[in-house]
Chain A
Amino acid sequence: MPLAKLIGRWPLLRQADGDPLALGKAVQSERTQKLRPRTAEAEQVVQSICPYCAVGCGQLVFVRDGKVDQIEGDPDSPISRGRLCPKGAASKSLVTSPTRVLKVRYRRPYATDWEDLPLEQAMDMIADRVLEARRATWDASNNRTMGIGSLGGATLDNEENYLIKKLCMGLGIVQVENQARI
């Protein structure tokens, strides 16, 4: 740093520059002077919708360094006008929660703990279980199985609900239900 500039950063001199009591500008650190909202560095800002209740508030998702860095209200939304409730405001925590399950957890019958299982293998096993249960409980007169059921969907997307229903209709699973019943 040039000597003149270094001397210029000497607090006493900075105080002399209009801040004799050292209340404002004179005491601002370099870091403070460079302060900007971290969202200014977002690589991507994506418009989203809050996943909690059914009001459907608009959200802006800020992505930085490949991670969700901030989620806040979308002022463009005529529904919410940029506002969020505590749950909506906690959406980033929902996504980045340290207790979030990231790997498949598998519990063998009668086991006392979880074990690891590769996702692909889990999918294969589930497909086998579905087919086996279906075979064992098939009711030909009603073209269905009463041995398999499904519950959930109210927090899912429309496309997901539609596909669940469609697959279940193909497989003859009629006990397809969601929170709307509850």
Chain B
Amino acid sequence: MGSNMAENHPVGFQWVMEAKLAGAKIMHVDPRFTRTSAMATTYVPIRAGTDIAFLGGVVNYILEHERWLDEYVKHYTNAPVIIDERFRDTEDLDGFFSGFDPEKRIYDTSSWHYAGMPVQETAGERSKGGTKGEQSGHGAQSGHLSSGEPPEEDETLRHPRCVFQLVKKHFRRYTPEVVAQICGCTEEQFLEVAEALCANSGRERTSAIVYSVGWTQHTVGVQYIRTAAIIQLLLGNIGRPGGGIVALRGHASIQGSTDLATLYNILPGYLPMPHGEKDTDLAAYLENHAGTTGWWGHFDAYVISQLKAFWGEAATKENDFRFDYLPRIDSDHSAYQTAVDMLDGKMKGYFLFGENPAVGSANSRLHRLALAQLDWLVVRDFQEIESASFWKDAPEIETGELKTEKIGTEVFLLPAATHVEKDGCFTNTQRLLQWHSKALEPPEDCRSDLGFVYHLGRKIREKLAGSTDPRDRPVLDLTWAYATSGPYEEPSADQVLREINGVGADGIALGTYADLKNEGSTACGCWLYCGCYADEQNRPARKKPGREQTWVAPEWGWAWPLNRRILYNRASADPDGKPWSERKRFVWWDEAEQKWVGEDVPDFDEQKAPTYVPPEDAEAEHAIAGDHPFILQADGRGWLFAAAGLMDGPLPTHYEPHESPFDNPLYAQRANPTRQLFEHRENRYNEDGAYPYVVTTYRLTEHHTAGGMSRTLPYLAELQPEFFCEVSPELAAERDLEHGGWATIVTARTAIEARVLVTERMTPLEVQGRTVHQVGLPYHWGTKGLTTGDAANDVFSLALDPNVHIQEVKAATCDIRPGRRPRGRALRELVESYPGRLES
């Protein structure tokens, strides 16, 4: 669900096809019949933006029909934990959880906590200070538990306030009838999927759920994935081979760029960026963010080692390891907020590293207008992409909104080296670090981004040398002595990887994050990657052929953490440490050897027996019991109920997309009440009524994201040479759209034109007693390259998930008309004739 794996990850899909040939059932639930649907055993069409209703139906099915894996649920999840008596569910409050502040549209999450817990700062508290979501990184905020055990539990799962009962009650209304009513599929289709999932889970079998940006790009995106997590925890499918929730990411190293934190709210390894008001010094920061139990119990060692990696000798115990050098955040500084600030003239300079917001970001017109407000822009890419050339060929030049001679942006387009022209490693979607070696030098002015950043830093440091301004100390004190080689003085990627891995007091590469210290004797760029350079060996560069290894292939590359290929794999054994079944054996407790053994590196303390019960005063990993596999959680359990860490609720619930032609049949509250909106004249939202159709975006096998790496290549461009929209024959008839002709898609943002592909793969759906049509838009096109076309993202608004600030481009509303769009000023006149509203 939310993934079109056959099209967007075709080579990964070989394993799905192989599983299918071996008898596995492949179920595809998606708004469109895609190449993945064509390969599936069963395809279920649903309305875009209704996945939580479908998945919630599965949760209800599991609970109603008693299909959960009982031992797994009781030992490995927080099902028995009793929740604060002040907690109220959306079922009690008509679409709101307890703690909602209607003024600020945020939650005070304290009533979602485990009963009996000391009150502490929560995500909601933080947001009152202006920061939304994910600022805490991952997991650390799960609280200060004494000995890792929640204060109140009911092992029988009968207590009305235990998580299990709350989940049961919450999802009770997600019956097959309701699922069909919201999603537009039939009850039978839904039941087939629910039953298949249950029948293929348990001791003997596992099921996996695969998702991609079809789930994340919603105003409730995080909760989509949470619902899948609840299903997989109930069915016992996490931490086991063939199970899991498989996130298929779209860019080679998007996982690595998340881990190593080119994100405003985190430092490498999911350490939170310090907050201006609250994290005044290192002690306050540690107090605010460290866990006491689980592996986040060593938060201080991770942070201090990172400060040592950044600032080396300059970071000492006496000066808080230069925690004061870190810049502070105090609000949402994510990409969309930055774009709006840019548009309002608040930004001076911007760097684009292989990113093309003029095509790839929601409301791309807004981004093009914003780029025109910058003083300077540095674009690093292979080709002259739209974000580099907007000043001469943006569509807004044609409409008269922008004039080249009036755009003051100074643009530097610096050619980048390709993957074969530099050393380095990606972290791919399976957390696998894979090294690629340089095959030849880059041509002419092309340089690696590593070289660019290194030399830019070097130049800046040279220019600032001798500065006494305290502002300049952090950059001057950075450890920046990288060895260079070759004609372009290319810094050593190998050396940078070693810095990320970390070294001990003896200067030797560390083997595990367990060896990181909190007194400054270790330096480590990213604790999660510690071990990738163990024994002074570049482990991502290991290339032992797959056929010469076990099926787990542990000697090909290196997976974080500590080369564990399946996370939380202690759960692949039952509470006693025995494999759940012979055919699903993976990691288990060896009585004779008194340690965990198996196919994979155990994701658990190797010598902690399944019977281990932590003493009262235990801390960090020692506070996690032998039958609790989720070692990064403070209580070692998988969370059916997210007691902390989320902005929009401890349980997922169905909300309509921000723009939807339907009301929410569950509550008066239609959309996610905490969704993030931007009040700006260039970001008008659709008024209800004038936009009767659902619109969604996607990618095609033949192209890559915003097109810079595919529209420019003849062999790919010829395979999908024009921007098109996909519509059903019924919608084509309703709107006089001619197959092969042109259509204009209109929202309150703008209107774009596309060739019309009428196909039965687009299915009209019956929703709440009426027919809804969906329009599909592949989003690869722009004004540059061998094939050009309007950018699909132009028609979408900035409406974001409150946790992660990701835009909703997988479900919105639109109008569609036959023929091409108007040119020039007439285009804006058409758009302005459609109703829109500003909303914050």
Contact = CB atoms under 8 A, between A and B. Distances in A.
B716 A87 contact: yes
Nearest to B809: A182
A99 interface: yes
16 contacts: A47-B437, A48-B419, A61-B439, A126-B378, A147-B349, A152-B354, A154-B355, A157-B422, A158-B260, A158-B497, A159-B424, A159-B496, A162-B526, A165-B262, A166-B310, A169-B474
Contacts of A54: 9, 248-255, 426, 428-429
Contact of B463 (A104, A112, A114, A128): A128
Given A149-B351, A169-B327, A83 B11 contact: yes
Given A51-B709, A91-B420, A161-B253, 16 more contacts: A80-B11, A104-B413, A110-B404, A117-B412, A129-B410, A133-B375, A136-B348, A151-B335, A158-B256, A158-B259, A158-B497, A158-B500, A169-B310, A177-B334, A180-B258, A181-B335
Interface in B353-407: 353-355, 357, 360-362, 375-376, 378, 380-384, 388, 391-392, 404-407
Contact of A179 (B257, B425, B500): B257
Interface string B491-512: 0010011011000000000000
Interface string A73-93: 001111111011111101101
Interface stretch (A2-10, A14-22, A30-38, A63-71): A63-71
Most A Cβ at <10 Å: residue of B264, B404, B806: B264
B713 A141 contact: no
A86 to B, nearest CB: 6
A170 B526 CA distance: 16
Interface in A137-182: 137-138, 140-144, 146-167, 169-182
B262 A153 contact: yes
A167 to B, nearest CB: 5
Contact of A169 (B325, B428, B435, B436): B325
B777 interface: no
A90 B407 CA distance: 36
B157 interface: no
A106 B412 contact: yes
Interface residues of B, number: 157
B463 A181 contact: no
B574 interface: no
Contacts of B392: 112-113
B445 A129 contact: no
Contact of A159 (B341, B361, B428, B493): B493
B806 A176 contact: no
Interface in A32-54: 44, 46-54
A63 to B, nearest CB: 5
A55 interface: yes
Nearest to A116: B445
A146 B406 CA distance: 24
Contacts of B719: 86
A165 B327 CA distance: 12
Interface residues of A, number: 113
Given A161-B257, A164-B262, A131 B460 contact: yes
Contacts of B252: 49-54, 56, 154-155
A101 interface: yes
A182 B262 contact: no
Contacts of A94: 382, 418, 709, 713
Contacts of A23: none
**Nearest 6 CB-CB pairs, A to B?**
A78-B546, A157-B424, A152-B353, A56-B428, A152-B355, A144-B327
A134 B807 CA distance: 29
Contacts of B383: 97, 99-101
Given A61-B439, A106-B412, A154 B354 contact: yes
A12 interface: no
Contacts of B478: 166-167, 170
Contacts of B547: 76, 78
Contact of A181 (B334, B432, B447): B334
A144 B443 CA distance: 36
A81 B349 contact: no
A127 interface: yes
Nearest to A122: B412
A102 B411 contact: no
B704 interface: yes
B120 interface: no
A154 B705 CA distance: 12
B712 interface: yes
A170 B261 contact: no
B804 A181 contact: yes
A51 B455 contact: no
A155 B335 contact: no
Given A54-B248, A123-B456, A174-B329, A49 B351 contact: no
A102 B444 contact: yes
B360 A182 contact: yes
Contacts of A107: 391, 409-411, 413
Contacts of B477: 170
A156 B460 CA distance: 22
B545 interface: yes
B264 A130 contact: no
Contact of B425 (A47, A157, A182): A157
Contacts of A50: 252, 419
B723 interface: no
B760 interface: no
A47 B434 CA distance: 10
B276 interface: yes
A110 B406 contact: yes
Contacts of A77: 546, 556
B353 A148 contact: no
A122 B414 contact: yes
Contacts of A164: 262, 353, 449, 453
Interface string B675-710: 000000000000000000000000001111100011
B704 A163 contact: no
Contacts of B9: 53-55
B207 interface: no
A13 interface: no
Contacts of B380: 152
Contact of A106 (B263, B413, B444): B413
Nearest to A51: B419
